[in-house]
Amino acid sequence: MADSPLPPKHTPWSDLDLNRWREYEEIKTDSLWMYDNRASGDGHKLDYHGNYIPQLATQLLTRYSKKDEIALDLFLGSGTTAIEAARLGRRCIGVELKPELVEYVRGKIKPELLDSRIQLLQGNSAAPETVRQINETLGCMQANAAHLLILHPPYADIIKFSDRPDDLSNAPTTEAFLDGFEVVARHGYGLLAPGRFAALIIGDKYANGELVPLGFWCMERMNRVGFKTKAIIVKNIEGNEKGKGKSANLWRYRALAGGYYIFKHEYVIVFFKPKP
């Protein structure tokens, strides 16, 4: 008689069965993530300059949440986290500053999921009243805290997303941007369940001929509010270079002439909130 299969072995934060670890070939466990292009379909499309690629949401939600658990995205943007959470059987609370963008994302979500499994809130994630609204929403979803935190802030002033003064892309200085981001990170820390994970998706920038390491400075602010760093992942997507034509040659000339290197990567920095 063949041996009985082992009972499932799970971590407290994932549905992955560790006894079947060889079968999860689609789950990345190294710190260099290479993608040929941006995934599309299921509501995902390159319709908003600055949204992160769906493949990142797939990896993070699968690795660090269970079905029916709640992912909290405090910079919702065009809805990548919400769309992928719905597809993967997770729930989601997404907060977005721009009212018109909230309405746009609502149109991407199946009506039967809206205002129940997928909750989209308009507000400033740095504002105390938004935190109160999130806590009320968690209560309506029969939860005391979120199970996964996603943060994909503006990369300082690289892209201006609105004219609103409370938009982090309008911060007058890098220090002001970091201070504003730290407030949001602190709120996220308080809203996340102990022992659970947070992911920061961020890139660096150049200013006045100098590299501005936004990724590492934001990581330091995450640590400052209490998060512990688990991993620094470098993500590269070749599809970002497609369609540039001869402009790519111009950037190569500028790089050679200026002594710098052209960004082709972003960071996915994973943290955890310690248990008391």
Q: How many CB atoms lie within 10 A of CB 3?
A: 5
How many Cβ atoms are within 10 Å of 244's Cβ, its own excluded?
Answer: 11
Helix (H) or strand (E) holding 232: strand 228-237
pTM assigned to the model: 0.92
* Domains of the chain, first to last: 28-39+50-239+246-272 (3.40.50.150)
pLDDT tens, position by position, for the chain (276 residues)? 445 478 999 999 999 999 999 999 999 999 999 988 766 656 555 565 667 899 999 999 999 999 999 999 999 998 999 999 999 999 999 999 999 999 999 999 999 999 999 999 999 999 999 999 999 999 999 999 999 999 999 999 988 888 899 999 999 999 999 999 999 999 999 999 999 999 999 999 999 889 999 999 999 999 999 999 999 999 987 654 444 445 667 888 988 999 999 888 999 999 999 998
